[in-house]
Amino acid sequence: MASSWRNALAHEKNNKLLAASACFLILAIAIYFSFFDILIPGLPDGSYRLAIGDLFLVPAIILAVGQSFILGFALHASTALFNAKKDFLKAIFISSLLTFLFSLTYVIFPFFGPFYYIVFAVGGPWYALPVEILWSAVTVSIGALLIRKFYGLDLKISYAISLLVVAGIVVAAS
């Protein structure tokens, strides 16, 4: 049983990939801590971040780590379905990068983030939706190209897996 888990989570030792994954994760946490919010009616200004102050670092860490590791595992499992080369560290790298790229939408649009229904409710600029669509397409494409490069999968399959991972990141943040 233990060896099957070891084989399922196999990875090549790659300190640069591990360091890059950690950097993307730390950057995503910093962005979430600074820009992300959990809106709860009844709190001052409806903002959980304002209500708990610096303790908001805990939910920011949970969100970024959860997105990166849970969706990294989903990416790893998805690629394994196609008998691709198994490397959990590469899956974590890709999901950490995609989490970071998604978090940048909070920097691009600090008042409403990536959620279109909020954009139109607060009177966002006309270009918000096209920029969001373009940024999402770029993010999915980067993920697909990395999946293809690291795992040797067909480009269509790589796009499908990348799209599912990015959709999971969006759902986790909402």
The tens-digit pLDDT sequence of the chain (174 residues) is 445 545 545 566 788 999 999 999 999 999 999 988 877 888 878 888 888 889 999 999 999 999 999 999 999 999 988 877 788 899 999 999 999 999 999 898 877 777 665 555 666 778 888 888 899 999 999 999 999 999 999 999 999 999 999 999 998 887
**Can you give the pLDDT at residue 128?**
81
**Can you give the pLDDT at residue 1?**
47
Q: What is the CA radius of gyration of the chain?
A: 17
Global pTM exceeds 0.75: yes
Helices 57-81 and 128-151: angle between axes, nearest 10 degrees: 50
**Can you give the pLDDT at residue 118?**
56
**Can you give the pLDDT at residue 48?**
86
**Can you give the pLDDT at residue 78?**
92
Contacts made by residues 130-136, CB under 8 angstroms, sequence distance 24+? 132/105, 135/101, 135/104, 135/105, 135/108, 136/166
* 8 Å CB contact between 162 and 136: no
On the 0-12 / 13-18 / 19+ scale of CB atoms within 10 A, 163 is: middle
Structural domains counted in the chain: 1
The C-alpha atoms of residue 63 and residue 66 are separated, in whole angstroms, by 5
* 8 Å CB contact between 27 and 62: no
Parent domain of 135? 2-173
